[in-house]
Chains A and B, each alone.
Chain A
Amino acid sequence: MGEAAALHRRGFAPIVVDMQMFTRHDLTSLFRSLAARMDEEQDYLAELDGEIGDADHGVAMSVGFAAAAKALSEDEAAVPMLADGMMLAARALLNEIGATTGPLYASALMRAAQALGATTEIPLARLPEVIIAMSEGIALRGASKPGDKTMIDAWAPAAHAARAGLATDRDVAHILKDAASAAAEGAEATRAMMAVKGRAARLGPRSLGHLDPGAASAAALLDSMAQWAMVRSHPVSS
C-alpha cells in the first residue's frame, strides 16, 4: 500500500483538504461568464432567429443574462445563500426580457435554486446537478419533448451527459465538457427537425435545415459553463 493511500484510509487524504467549493461569489462569477458569452453570441443568434423567428433571441439572451449577472453581483453580500442567489437571477432575467426565453430560463434557474439549497456553498463537484435541474425546469415550463426543435434538444442531452458523468468519478470540468459537447451535438441535430413549438412552428417544413436559435444559445451557455469550470477547477498559478 502506498503512502497516499494509507493516509487516505486514515482520513488524512489530501482530497478532503483540497475539496473545491462552489461559493456565492462563484455564482456571480459564473453568471458574468454566461452574460459575456451571450453578448458575444448576440449577432449570431439574431441571425439564426431571423431565419425562422423574429430575430430577437440574441438581444433577449444578452440582456437577460446581463441583468441576472448584475443582480447577483450587486446583491452578493445581501443575498448570501446560493438558492436565493439563483432566485434573484431568475427574477432579474424574467423581468428584463419576458418573451418565451424569460419564463423558460427563469423556470430553469428556479429549479436550480432548489437543487442548490439554502447554503452558502456546495462542493464544486455538484455543479453538474445544476445542469440537470435547469433542463428539468425548462422541460416542465415549455412542455417540449426532444425532437420538437427547441432548446430542449440541447439541454436534454446535456443533462443526460451530466447524469452519466455524476455516476462516474470523473472530475467536474470533464463532466461539464461532456455535457457541453452533448449540447452542441443536440443543437446541430435541430437542423433536421421540423419545429412544432413556438413561432417557428408556423413555418412548418420551412424550418428544416435551420439551426434552432434556442438550442444554439443553450449550447453556448453550456460551453461557457464548461470553460468556467475548467478555469475554476484548474487555476493557472501566477
Chain B
Amino acid sequence: MRVGGTVRSPLRFGEDPLLWAAWLYYEEGMTQGDIATQMGVSRASVNAYLADARARGIVSIEIDPDRFRALSIAQSLQDHFNLSDCLVIPSEGGGSPLVDRLGAAAAQLLTRTVQSGDTIAVTWGRTVLSMADSVRPGGLQDLRIVQATGGTTAKTSWTPEACATTLADALGARCIPISAPAIVSSPDMRRLLLREPVIAGQMKVLAEANRIILGISSLRPESTIHSSGFFDAVSAQDYANAAVGSIAGRLISATGEVVDGPLEARTIGIDLDSLGKIPCRIGVAGGMDKVQAILAALRGRLVNVMVTDADTARAILASEGRDIDAPKRAGKPAAALPERVRVKKFLNRSQDAVSEMIAGAVLAHDELLAPIEGAPRALKAVTGPRPGKVGLVIGGGSGHEPGFFGYVGAGLADAVAIGNVFAAPPPDPILAATLAADGGAGVLHIFGNFSGDVMNFEMAAEMAAARGIPVRSVITTDDIASAPVETRAARRGVAGNAFVFKIAGAACDRMLPLERCVELANRATQRCFTMGIALEPGTSLETRRPSFRIGPEEMEIGVGVHGERGIASDRLVGADEATDLVVDRILSEMAPAEGDRVALLVNSLGSTPMMELYIINRRLRQRLRARGVMVHRTLIGHYYTSLDMAGMSITAILLDDELASLLDHPCHSPAWHHA
C-alpha cells in the first residue's frame, strides 16, 4: 500500500480531506468512526473519501501475486500441464463480471512480465479487451503490439482491431494491424493477399512475436464465438464432430490439435504451429462453459501461462481425474460415525418391489383405487370418469409414495401411470390411464419436469390424440433450487405436485372445461415454491447401499426427490437455521405482500419423522408471522418422498381466492382426504 506515492508525512492535511482520510485509515490504521471524530465529519463522509481516494489513484492497492499463485489449485494446474506460470483468481467477488476480473488479473500478470523491446501478439474477445482496458502504462520502450489474426466486420466491441489498438494505447506501444479480413473467400484470395507487401510486412512482425495473449472460446450455442464474425461462413455441422473450442480463430480438437475444416485454408492469421513456437503464450479464460475448450488448449500446449478462476481450474483438474477438494472449512472435522454399509429393508426380490407395492395398495384402498385391465402399471379411481368431466392423469416413477397413486380419488386424479423406481413410466401405461380417465371432455396430464417423464408423456399424448382424445399437459416446476428463476422452465417438479394435483383435480371435479383446468393447473405450479434439504442419502433397492455419501458434518441443500445429491453441500445446522435457509429462498422468490395467503406443505423425504417436521413447522410459522403472511392450510407428513432419504422439503403456494377455493374443495384419496 502506498499513499500518494510516498511514506513521508504530508505537511498539511487540511486542504485535502481525501489524502487526510486515506493517511489515517491506511497508514495510522484508525477505524472509520475514529477518523470521522478526528476530522469532524460524518462516518459516511469518511467512507466516501476513502472510496474517492481509491478511484483517483491517491491510494493504490496491490495484491501480492504470489498469494494468488500460492493457491494450491494454481500450483496443481501449473504442475499438471507443465505451465511456466499460472494465476487463479477467486470465482466469486467484487460484484464485477468474471470477464472483467479475469481481464484485470491478466493485465497485472502482463504488466509484471512484459519487457522493453517485446512484440506481443493479441487475439480478441471480451476477456482480452477487458484485459487491454485494465493495463496501466509501465514506461517500457520499443514495444510492438500486433494483431494475431485479420479483422472482422462483427458488430461487437471486442474485435481483433479493437483489442490490439486498446492494448497498444494502454502500453504506449506501436500497433501493427493485419490489414486483411480474418476469413477470406477462398484459399486463392488468401495467397494473393499474403503476397501484398503491406500485409506481408505485418505478417512478418507477427512471426517475430515473443508473447501472445490468447482468448479461448467454447463452441457451445451460448458462446460469443457465434457473434464474432469468425465462423459465419460455416455451419455447425462442418466442425461439430471434431472441434471443442477455438483459439486465435482456429478450431481445435479435445487434444488441442487443429481441426481441418473448410476455413483452415482461408484464415489469415497466426497458425497453431507458429503459435506453439512463441515462448510466452498467455491464455485468459474462465467459466464452466469453457472448461472443455481450455482443457484442449492446455493439453495441446497452445498455452503455457494460464489466467483463470478457481471454479474453472478445479473443473479442468477434475476433468483430468485430479480431484481438488473444495477449501476445507475452519474447525476440526468431527469424527465420523461408522457408516451404514448395508441397509435393512422389508423387501422380497428388489425387482418385484413395484408390482408388490401396487398389489398391496389396491387391497388397502379398494374403496378408492381399482386396477386397469391389461395395464398392470396403471390404476384408476373407483369413482371413475364422469361424462363431460375432464379426466386428470398423473404419474411418474415409484419411490415417491404416497406420490403418485396416493393422489387418485374423488376430487383428485382419475388415473395414474406408475414407473419403475425413480424412472418415468413408458407410454403404454400412460395411454391406458388416459383411456381410463377419458370422460369425453379431454384429458389433462400433469407430471414433474424430468426429461424421461416429458418424453414418455409426450409419446402417450400423441398416441391418445391418434385415438381422438385431446390431451393437454401441465409440467410442474416448483423446485426453486434446481435452476435460477430466469430459467424456471428447467426446474424440477417435486412436492408442490400435491397442491397442483389438488387444484387441478378440484377444477376437473367442478366440470370446468379443459382449457380452464390447464390454466388453473399452470397458475398453481407458477405460484408453488419448494426447496429441500437432505441429511442422509436414500438406499438403492438393488444394492441396499446408500446411493451416495453425505459427510458427518454436512447436509445437502436443494435436493430433489430421486435420491440424488443437492445443488450444494453445506455445514450441518439445527432445525431453525435449516428452516430459515429454505424460507429465505422461498420468500425472496415469492415476494408475498403483507396479508397474502399461502398453503404450506412440510414434507418428509422418507426417513425424517413427524417430530422433526413439527419443529420445522414451528419455525416456518414464526417466519411467516413476522412477514405478515397468513396460512390458509398446512399439510405435514409424508406427501412426496425419495424412498428412505432423511430430509425434508417445504412447499409454499401463494393463493388467490380461486386457488384457495379449489384447495378447499372436498376430496378423498389415499393421501389426501377432506370433506
Contacts and interface: CB of A to CB of B under 8 A. Distances in A.
Interface of A: 46, 50-56, 59-60, 94-104, 141-142, 145-147, 156-157, 160, 185, 189, 191-194, 197-199, 201-206, 208-209
A54 B288 contact: no
B419 A99 contact: yes
A192 B299 CA distance: 12
B124 to A, nearest CB: 22
B341 to A, nearest CB: 15
Contacts of A203: 564-565, 567
B390 to A, nearest CB: 25
Nearest to B564: A54
A50 B542 CA distance: 12
Contact of A205 (B315, B420, B428): B315
A192 B316 contact: yes
Contacts of B295: 192
Given A56-B423, A191-B321, A192-B315, 18 more contacts: A50-B547, A54-B562, A59-B420, A97-B423, A98-B452, A99-B397, A102-B426, A142-B451, A147-B219, A147-B292, A189-B244, A191-B319, A191-B320, A193-B292, A199-B564, A202-B482, A208-B288, A208-B315
Nearest to B563: A54
Given A100-B451, A147-B219, A189 B423 contact: no
B240 A55 contact: no
6 A-B pairs with the lowest CB-CB distances in the bound complex, closest first = A209-B318, A99-B423, A192-B319, A98-B426, A100-B452, A103-B455
A56 B451 contact: no
Nearest to A91: B428
Given A100-B455, A192-B316, A205 B426 contact: no
Nearest to A101: B452
B98 interface: no
A156 B240 CA distance: 9
Contacts of A209: 315, 318-319, 321, 323
B288 A98 contact: no
B311 interface: yes
A203 B218 CA distance: 20
B426 A194 contact: no
B319 A206 contact: no
A199 B427 CA distance: 20
A192 B292 contact: yes
Interface string B219-258: 1110000000000000000001100100000000010000
B291 interface: yes
Interface-centre pick from A51, A103, A145, A192 (highest chain B CB count, 10 A): A192
Q: Which of A59, A99, A203 gathers the greatest number of chain B CB atoms within 10 Å?
A: A99
A146 B218 CA distance: 12
A170 B315 CA distance: 39
Contacts of B424: 98-100, 102
Contacts of A59: 420, 542
Nearest to A189: B254
A98 B291 contact: no
Nearest to A210: B318
14 contacts: A52-B564, A60-B420, A60-B423, A95-B426, A96-B426, A98-B456, A99-B424, A160-B241, A185-B254, A191-B319, A192-B292, A193-B292, A205-B288, A206-B565
A206 B557 CA distance: 13
A222 to B, nearest CB: 15
A81 to B, nearest CB: 23
Contact of B291 (A54, A97, A146, A194): A194
Contacts of B220: 147
Contacts of A103: 427, 452, 455-456, 459
A238 to B, nearest CB: 38
B283 interface: no
Contacts of A194: 288-289, 291, 315
B422 interface: yes
Interface in B588-617: none
B426 A46 contact: no
A56 B244 contact: no
A51 B540 CA distance: 13
B239 to A, nearest CB: 10
B241 A157 contact: yes
A141 to B, nearest CB: 7
B493 to A, nearest CB: 12
A202 B240 CA distance: 25
Nearest to A163: B241
Nearest to A94: B426
Interface of B: 218-221, 240-241, 244, 254, 288-289, 291-292, 295, 311, 315-316, 318-321, 323, 397, 419-428, 450-452, 455-456, 459, 482-483, 490, 492, 540, 542-543, 547-548, 560, 562-565, 567-568
A135 to B, nearest CB: 11
B427 A94 contact: yes
Given A54-B564, A97-B426, A192-B291, A202 B492 contact: yes
A146 B316 contact: no
A99 B291 contact: no
A102 B490 CA distance: 21
A204 to B, nearest CB: 7
A102 B240 CA distance: 26
Contacts of B319: 191-192, 208-209
B288 A204 contact: yes
A56 B422 contact: yes
B516 to A, nearest CB: 30
Contacts of A51: 548
Which one of B218, B425, B452 has the greatest number of beta carbons of chain A within 10 Å?
B452
A224 B397 CA distance: 30
A197 B220 CA distance: 14
Contact of A55 (B241, B419, B547): B547
A104 B455 contact: yes
A48 B562 CA distance: 15
Contacts of B563: 54-55
A146 B542 contact: no
Contacts of A146: 240-241
A191 B318 CA distance: 8
A164 B330 CA distance: 56
Contacts of B492: 202
Contacts of A204: 288, 567
A66 B572 CA distance: 43
A103 to B, nearest CB: 4
A189 B253 CA distance: 11
A26 B350 CA distance: 33
Contact of A193 (B291, B456, B568): B291
A187 to B, nearest CB: 12
B420 A99 contact: yes
B564 A53 contact: yes
Given A141-B455, A208-B291, A50 B548 contact: yes
Nearest to B450: A199
A97 B315 contact: no
Nearest to A147: B220
B455 A97 contact: no
A6 B422 CA distance: 64
B428 A95 contact: yes
Contacts of B427: 94-95, 98, 103
Nearest to B560: A202
Nearest to B396: A98
A146 to B, nearest CB: 5
A194 B295 CA distance: 13
Contacts of A201: 490
Nearest to B538: A54
Taking each of B288, B311, B315, B483, which has the highest tally of chain A beta carbons within 10 Å of its own beta carbon?
Answer: B315
Nearest to B455: A103
Contacts of B241: 146, 156-157, 160
B358 to A, nearest CB: 15
Nearest to B315: A208
Contact of B423 (A98, A191, A202): A98
A52 B563 CA distance: 11
Nearest to B236: A145
B311 A46 contact: no
